[in-house]
Structure 1
Amino acid sequence: MSWKSLLSPSSPRYTPLGFPDSPASRLPPRRVLYAGAAAVATIFVLATAGWHVSNRSPFHDPSYFETVKLPEGYKWKFDPSRDSLNYGLTDEQCNAAFPDLFLELDRAQKFFSDKKIQQKDVHLSTDAELNDHWNGKTRAEFHLMIYNGELIVIDEAKGEPDRSRGLAAMASMYRAINAHPNPRDIPNVEFILDLHDNSQPGPDGKIRFTWARHKDNPYMWVVPDFDGWTYPDDAVGSYVQFRNDVAEIEKPFEDKIPQLSWRGSLGVNHGLRQALMDASEGKGWSDVKAIDWRTRSNVLAMKDFCNYQYVAHTEGNTWSGRLRYLHNCNSVPVIHELDWVAHYYPLLQDSGKYQNYVKVKRDFSDLDEKMQYLVDHPHVAKRIAAQSAQTFRDRYLTPAAEACYWRRMFAHYASVLDFEPRLYDEEVVDGEVVRRLRRGQTFERFAFRGKDGYEHGIFDDSKDKAECKNDTPPAPATPVMTPLTPLTPVATPVALPLDTPVPIPEAPKPAVVDANETPAENVETPAPTVNQNDFYGQ
């Protein structure tokens, strides 16, 4: 009998499940098999669903999931190794992790609480203001709005600072807004962002979002500077990249170079910086050098400052962005009396058990005395360095902290607005709205656009479609070649309990700092060179 005849339905040996004398002939009917398989699948789904709910990732905050019961006594705590890049912390988590971060915002909110900000206060600098206060020169400013959780660019004015500053700040805002579980919970606000180092000059009572304010000007709202996104130089890169680079080369305090490091241009804030040069000249503790930008002599990569036990900070045209970077080092910051306030400066402590920097006079006349004491008492220096790293690197200058600051800033600012931002301009004729025009562009579109270009295969060179004054795309960055720093395996940097101050060993302690010391008269300083390339804020 051939194999074909065996498979014929007429064959006595053929059945739908096989041959009568084969094992298949003893299987249950097909419908019984289907029913059994369905039952097994149902049991499996129910079992795995229960397992999924009970095994959520420990990196999620259980408070977000109403179906999960928190353990009794559960309390979330900020962990730098886990949470430093968490841009979406809740308001409660922001308060718990960064309780003192919002002091500058509290000051601004209190100042405006009985004044309120009017719609007329929010506008780009007018021609009359430019003529009266800036000799007719334009100011680099962005007119921005947050509406229903969207960042909107209403208008832009050109100025001398690089446009990338504004784009970097807006990118940071955008990140903070969209990391929130519901961006529409962020209140609607409208404001002007000034890109200049010094946003102070202008009519009395001018209100701006600015990188820093003079200590005597209460009208400015201080934002995290653009370096929180990236420094506009390829040699430094993004802020997150810089922090990672520092982590790779960081070493214990006692293994660092026991000197005070500083690099900077004397063409910026000359009098103050020359005073530092004079006070440190010929000292064994000094590695203080000026940079010649024509030859690039004495340039030091920003991360390499962390190889020193002591790092000096000086203001530039106004504030200087260098301090943010120096605070990422396990080193002692040495800072002169400051005239300018950045968003986190209220956290600087120059004395007491939480001291995180050493303050010197603005003319540096006491620098040698302070440095000699630190060199002779390394246990004190090590404690200050560790407190600085713990406070700033591991907490208040993390990207997570910056996102919390942006969202809290929008909330504080909204609380003192006397108007509701509007999404549309309306044309009204005889009491009826005949035309509505949406204001500005969303940040996504604004950051992507160019002056001329092809879209969907169609070239559009019309000039009247631009909704902002500055329709020029940012210039491409110029690569900067710097020598590579060899990486050396090092020990883990000092780690301190976040809630416990470091005990100070008993030792003779001549006054390193005096909170009540009288500021010396300011060194006469020539007018700042506004177009000076203050590299790394130096």
Structure 2
Amino acid sequence: MWGPGKVNTRQKMAKQQQSKPTWATTSPRVLGLLRPRILIALGCALTLLLSACLLVLRFQNQSYALQLQLFRPSRYFEKECYAAGESATDRLQHGSTEMSNGEWEFVASRDANNYALNSEQCLAAFPKLFTEIDKSVEQRKETNNPITFKEIDSRKTLGQGMARAMIYKGELFIIEYGDMMYTASRAKSTLHSLHRALVATPDRESLPSIEFHFSADDFVWDDLKLAGGPVWAYSKRDTSDIDEDAVDDSNIWLMPDFGYWAWPEVDIAPYRETRRRIAAVDAEFKTFQSKKKQLLWRGSLNTAAELRNGLIDATKNKYWASVRVVDWGNKKSVEENLLPIEDHCRYMFLAHTEGRSFSGRGKYLLNCHSVFITHPLIWREAHHAAFVSSGPEANYIEVARDFSNLESKVEYLLDNPQIAERIANNSVTTFRDRYLTPAAEACYWRYLIQKYGEVSDFEPKLYDDRTGKMRGQPYEQWVLGL
């Protein structure tokens, strides 16, 4: 029998069991089943917590980097100079002008008018085009003399045809420009071409931001060379070709000339249209031998009179020559003697002479399927490294500067028409179908920007710190205001 005390104890135990929470009454077996699930849940929670911490840390790093970008020194900040990069000249010497995958190669019928070739394609297609740029870069590196803002800013006045410009994140800005009385169309043509090369580049923001001066005159006068830093110009001379008392051209960087856009002063159409007209004239001749077997030249004696008179004297009364002077101030002379540039291509031989400096007609003549004949050229242009004057790869004929041996060379070619035709074929392959294509010109502009930036130790600021205003005008706005 249960006594009263035992009954009370039993009742108390029953009440205590009813008052316990359910988890406290779970059996050991159930606990064993739940423990792995609890551990998994805890692990997931810890993983989520760790990921959140990493995201917060990454955000803080990006925010700090943005602050560094926004709060750089407010004027001109230095950047790493002489960034590593193999020059086109080095690639040519090392035989490394092939694309990395070996698949792409330049095809004139497809690529000649492509302004958007990438850097690897440009180097593969035009290995000889960038020689003069590489020389300018090497000179700065050898003398440990980077281009500084102080050097650029030291030019306080701009001469005839000069301008100060900036490329900022792939966009062109005109900061200041001088008197353009005689060179306005040249300057606009040059800047149009540069702008075209920029906008054709999908990743143009990756180009270095640079500041530079350029000249639209035939050459840069000595006082303008001394007035400031480097100048982009259409032509330059080797030091050995400059008088001892003159300022050398070591601070000149070669750029493509204005004719790659158009040359309205002498009624030459836009470059691509001119190339079409030249190709149409050449297509009229079934064979090279059916062209006029004469040496053609038309030009003025207002420039390089001594040099050009030498050509006139050497060709006077020669059956193989059609050489005439054009007096631009005489309407009758212009009407009788001037020939459209494409009609030059009807002749088997084309004479070329320098003028005040280079002569802009040269690249047009080299577009013809004819033999290009010239004296030793003192004034260098961007494409001159592609000239070959002898051997099976010869693509032009070089004669004495006074033209004293011109007759003997022309008569030799007339007697050996197969050699003349081979030289004309080589000229077309080298120049019309490669180094003088619109694609080559655009590649040259971008390589110039890249290498000029490589030896500049500052990056220009878009806004003036003192006034808060933009330094210059966007090119699109500037050109509409002319």
TM over 0.5: yes
Matched, 1:146 2:167: yes
2:232 is matched with 209
How big is the shift at 1:146?
A: 0.3
2:105 is matched with 77
2:311 is matched with 276
Aligned partners of 1:159, 1:448: CA distance in 2, in Å? 15
Q: Counterparts in 2 of 1:82-97, with a 5 A limit? A: 82-97=110-125
1:245 is matched with 277
Aligned partners of 1:324, 1:124: CA distance in 2, in Å? 35
2:129 is matched with 101
1:179 is matched with 200
Aligned partners of 1:448, 1:146: CA distance in 2, in Å? 19
Aligned partners of 1:257, 1:175: CA distance in 2, in Å? 38
Aligned partners of 2:310, 2:153: CA distance in 1, in Å? 40
1:267 is matched with 302
How big is the shift at 1:194?
A: 0.7
More helix by percentage: 2
How big is the shift at 1:121?
A: 2.4
The one-character-per-residue Cα deviations of 1:37-68 (angstroms, maximum 9, x if unpaired) are: xxxxxxxxxxxxxxxxxxxxxxxxxxxxxxxx
SS in 1 for 2:344: helix
- Percent identical among aligned pairs is 39
Of the three residues 351, 365, 376, the one matched with 1:326 is: 365
2:97 is matched with none
Q: How many residues align?
A: 363
Matched, 1:195 2:227: no
- Per mean C-alpha deviation after superposition, the further-off stretch among 189-198 and 234-243 is 234-243
CA contact (8 A) 2:183 2:217 kept: no
Matched, 1:436 2:468: yes
Q: Counterparts in 2 of 1:478-517, with a 5 A limit? A: none
* TM-score (normalizing by structure 1): 0.65
- Per mean C-alpha deviation after superposition, the further-off stretch among 322-331 and 110-119 is 110-119
Larger Rg: 2
How big is the shift at 1:226?
A: 0.5
1:225 is matched with 257
CA contact (8 A) 2:292 2:346 kept: yes
Aligned partners of 2:461, 2:101: CA distance in 1, in Å? 45
* TM-score (normalizing by structure 2): 0.73
The one-character-per-residue Cα deviations of 1:236-295 (angstroms, maximum 9, x if unpaired) are: 210000001111111331110011000001121100000000001111211111112212
In the alignment, residue 407 of structure 1 is paired with which amino acid? R
In the alignment, residue 241 of structure 1 is paired with which amino acid? E
2:189 is matched with 168
How big is the shift at 1:330?
A: 0.5
Kindly tell me: are residues 124 and 226 of structure 1, through their superposed partners in 2, closer, same or farther at Cα, counting changes over 3 Å? Answer: farther
CA contact (8 A) 1:200 1:214 kept: no
Kindly tell me: are residues 124 and 316 of structure 1, through their superposed partners in 2, closer, same or farther at Cα, counting changes over 3 Å? Answer: farther
Of the three residues 128, 148, 155, the one matched with 1:118 is: 148
Please list every run of at least 4 consecutive aligned residues from structure 1 whose deviation after the TM superposition is greater than 4 angstroms.
203-206
In the alignment, residue 479 of structure 2 is paired with which amino acid? A
The one-character-per-residue Cα deviations of 1:4-46 (angstroms, maximum 9, x if unpaired) are: xxxxxxxxxxxxxxxxxxxxxxxxxxxxxxxxxxxxxxxxxxx
The one-character-per-residue Cα deviations of 1:329-352 (angstroms, maximum 9, x if unpaired) are: 010000101110111111111112
How big is the shift at 1:181?
A: 1.1
Aligned partners of 1:394, 1:123: CA distance in 2, in Å? 41
Of the three residues 301, 320, 335, the one matched with 2:374 is: 335
Aligned partners of 1:322, 1:200: CA distance in 2, in Å? 22
The one-character-per-residue Cα deviations of 1:157-215 (angstroms, maximum 9, x if unpaired) are: 11442211111111111111111111101110110011111214225485200010122
Matched, 1:255 2:290: yes
- When the two chains are superposed, the root-mean-square deviation of aligned CA atoms in Å is 1.7
The one-character-per-residue Cα deviations of 1:282-332 (angstroms, maximum 9, x if unpaired) are: 112111111122121311111111000100000011110010100100100
Aligned partners of 2:181, 2:400: CA distance in 1, in Å? 32
Aligned partners of 1:157, 1:143: CA distance in 2, in Å? 9
Kindly tell me: are residues 316 and 74 of structure 1, through their superposed partners in 2, closer, same or farther at Cα, counting changes over 3 Å? Answer: closer
CA contact (8 A) 2:155 2:229 kept: no
In the alignment, residue 259 of structure 2 is paired with which amino acid? D
SS in 1 for 2:372: strand
Q: Which 5+ residue runs of structure 2 have no aligned equivalent? A: 1-99, 240-248
Matched, 1:397 2:418: no
In the alignment, residue 320 of structure 1 is paired with which amino acid? S
CA contact (8 A) 1:124 1:143 kept: no
Aligned partners of 1:73, 1:393: CA distance in 2, in Å? 27
The one-character-per-residue Cα deviations of 1:130-174 (angstroms, maximum 9, x if unpaired) are: 8xxxxxxx4221110000111000111114422111111111111
Aligned partners of 2:128, 2:251: CA distance in 1, in Å? 21
In the alignment, residue 156 of structure 1 is paired with which amino acid? Y
Kindly tell me: are residues 80 and 222 of structure 1, through their superposed partners in 2, closer, same or farther at Cα, counting changes over 3 Å? Answer: same
Kindly tell me: are residues 211 and 124 of structure 1, through their superposed partners in 2, closer, same or farther at Cα, counting changes over 3 Å? Answer: farther
